[in-house]
Amino acid sequence: MSLPPLATALAGVDLVHDRASIEQAIAAMAVRIRNDYAGDLPVYLTVMQGGLPFAAQLALELGARGLDLQFDYLHATRYGSGTRGGEIAWKHRPATPLRGRRVLLVDDILDEGITLAAVRAWCLGEGAREVRIAALAVKRHGRCVPGLCADYAGLDVPDRYVFGYGMDYHEQGRNLPAIYAIGD
């Protein structure tokens, strides 16, 4: 399979958020999360693959503020290598027992929330006492799963195809230190 060149995509994109604004938003989120979880050891579930860069930066900010975390991860996707969602496929479920625990799901973006809603429901089904969501980016469009929102939201992004800082362009560009949008 031939992927469209990332360089071609980058030639015609709009910069939505630069690295400095992303890092500032993550630091602000960390203060709120630390305050909400003070005295607790939450299960910190990174949603792979997109959530990895954001989750790592947020974890370091939380550690700098004195909040310890119990790390685990999950991999549930509706996209695979495509750009349109389908059925949810679980590639890895967390090994940490969730019964009676406070869980923080950490993901790169909250778009329509179908995957995050399914993951949250799974965590609650596993007995989690509470499940909150931290999302670096939130699309503001009114098409989100009813009742689902990010408890901790970093930045708004336009209702366009966005990539960078964990979000991909045909499985490329996740490691870009900024967020870009394609088209208008």
Active-site positions read 111
- Supply 2's token pair: 């031939």
70's enclosing H/E stretch is strand 70-77
Quote the CA–CA distance of 180 and 21 in Å, as a whole number. Answer: 13
Q: From residue 35, give the alpha-carbon distance in Å to each of 63, 151, 165.
A: 13, 13, 25
Quote the CA–CA distance of 36 and 26 in Å, as a whole number. Answer: 15
- Supply 136's token pair: 């670096």
- Beta carbons of 106 and 58 less than 8 angstroms apart: yes
At 2, which amino acid appears? S
